Amino acid sequence: MLFDAHCHLDFAAFDADREAVFSRAHAAGVRRFMVPGTTRARWPSVSALAARDDVSVGLGLHPYFIDDHRDEDLDALEEALTQRGEVVAIGECGIDARFPQTLPRQWQLFEAQLQLAKQHRLPLVIHCVHANDQVAKRLRQLALPAGGLIHAFAGSAQQAQRFVDLGYHLGLGGAATHARAQRLQRVIAGLPDDAFVLETDSPDMPPAGHPGQRNEPANLTEVLTRVAALRRRPKAEVAAQTYANTCRLFAC
Ligand SMILES: [Zn+2]
């Protein structure tokens, strides 16, 4: 049994066949799904998915969609966290240094969401691209109560260790399956059993063998196969560990 710890099943890319996507996932053994929110406009669609027994949700403001966010969205986020019992995490939020011109604004929104995580004692879903050292530094200063997920981790062994020492989980997905990801594959081989979860980031980041295609949670089995091989452990063992890790991380 697998838990897809990060998938955007609310996105329009799934509007035409969402039920079939869930069915294929279930048939592949992917039984639970964590769907994070990306923009205020999308939160209602994310929250609607929480009506399903197999979906847990987060709400947040994603740095990639920086132009969509307004200051009042932070007030709306706080209100939503207070009112909606189904929200298990704050995110997707974070820093994407591929867009240097918006970094000050990204940090402003991220910082506000870090403070909400502290107040509400919720875990974070963190998107962190070319900013692992800066984000780890801030997380160390804050010592947040519920930790979080470093989604699509792609850093060095030292950066991985730093996040793990701070109590964060690393999200492993399609990137692990690509032949060129040798540094990441060495990191994966050496992680503690309780330090990582499996995720697809659907509809993005398809595993090797699906270039340019829409990714979907059924493909999580390919991530499992690669991660188990890298760690020289049986797939069933890695599946059970990562399922338990995801439940513990999101307390769901
Ligand atoms: Zn994402």
How many whole angstroms separate alpha carbon 223 and alpha carbon 12? 24
Amino acid at 217: P
Helix (H, G, I), strand (E, B) or coil at 89: strand
C-alpha of residue 127 to centroid of ligand 1, in Å? 7
- 122 C-alpha to center of ligand 1: Å? 18
pLDDT at 84 over 80: no
The Å distance, Cα 165 to ligand 1 centre, comes to: 23
Task: Label residue 120 by pLDDT band (50, 70, 90).
Answer: very high
32-50 pLDDT, tens digit each: 999 999 999 999 999 999 9
d(C-alpha 221, C-alpha 14), whole Å? 19
**pLDDT at residue 220 in the model:** 98
* H or E element, residue 128: strand 124-129
Whole-number Cα distances in Å, 185 to 92, 236, 245:
24, 19, 20
16 pLDDT higher than 80: yes
Q: What pLDDT does residue 35 have?
A: 98
- Cross-strand partners of 150: 126, 170
Q: How far is the CA of 205 from the centre of ligand 1 (A)?
A: 10
Mean pLDDT on 149-171: 97
Question: Tens of pLDDT along 126-141?
Answer: 999 999 999 999 999 9
CB 208 within 8 A of CB 24: no
Average pLDDT, the chain: 96
- Between the CA of 124 and the centroid of ligand 1 the distance, in Å, is 12
DSSP string, 179-193: TT-HHHHHHHHHS-T
Residues with Cβ within 8 Å of 250's Cβ and at least 6 positions away in sequence, in order, are: 5, 34, 56, 88, 89, 123
For residue 2, report the distance from its CA to the centre of ligand 1, in Å. 18
pLDDT-above-90 percentage for the chain: 96
Task: Give the CATH number for residue 57.
Answer: 3.20.20.140
Distance 172 CA to ligand 1 centre (A): 12
Domain boundaries, position 44? 2-250
CA–CA separation, 62 and 208 (whole Å): 26
Confidence (pLDDT) at 219: 97
What's the CA gap between 18 and 215, in Å, rounded? 13
| Contacts with 110 (C-beta within 8 Å, 6 or more apart), sequence order | 63, 93, 94, 95
Residue whose tokens read 């060495």: 186
Cα of 23 from ligand 1 centre, angstroms: 21
- Res 183: pLDDT: 96
Q: What is the DSSP letter of 139?
A: H
pLDDT band of residue 202 (cuts 50, 70, 90) is very high
Please give the distance, rounded to the nearest whole angstrom, from the Cα atom of residue 8 to the centre of ligand 1. Answer: 6
45-64 per-position pLDDT tens digit:
999 999 999 999 999 999 99
Distance 152 CA to ligand 1 centre (A): 8
Question: What separation in Å is there between the alpha carbon of 141 and the centre of ligand 1?
Answer: 25
pLDDT at 85: 78
The average pLDDT across 6-14 equals 98
- What are the structure tokens assigned to 198, written together? 């499996």
Report residue 71: phi and psi, to 5°.
Answer: -55, -40
C-alpha span between 138 and 225 (Å, rounded)? 34
What are the backbone angles phi and psi of residue 146, rounded to the nearest 5°? -115, 10
Distance CA 231, CA 244 (A): 17
- pLDDT (0 to 100) of residue 130: 96
